[in-house]
Amino acid sequence: MRTTIKEHRARLNLTQEQLAEKVGVRRETIVFLEKGKYNPSLRLARDISIALGVSIEELFLFDDEEEKKA
C-alpha cells in the first residue's frame, strides 16, 4: 500500500508532529504511514483523511490500484 499523506500534509504546510497531534498519534506513526510501513486502523485512516480534507481513497492506494493505472 502506498500513501499520499506526505503530499497532502505538505500542501497544508503541516509538519508530521502537527498532523500527529491532530489525529492523536505519535509522530513516528505518521513517519511509518508515509513510508508505507504501517497499515492504519479504519478509524485512524478516517481521522487523517478528515484532518487533511481528502477522502480515504485519495490517501491510501493499494498495489492493485496502482497496477490498474499503469
Confidence of residue 68 (pLDDT cuts 50, 70, 90): low
d(C-alpha 13, C-alpha 40), whole Å: 22
d(C-alpha 19, C-alpha 48), whole Å: 8
Task: Return the CATH class of domain 2-69.
Answer: mainly alpha
> Which residues touch 3 (CB under 8 Å, ≥6 apart)?
33, 34, 36, 59, 60, 61
pLDDT tens digits along 11-54: 999 999 999 999 999 999 999 999 989 999 999 999 999 999 99
Domains of the chain, residue spans: 2-69
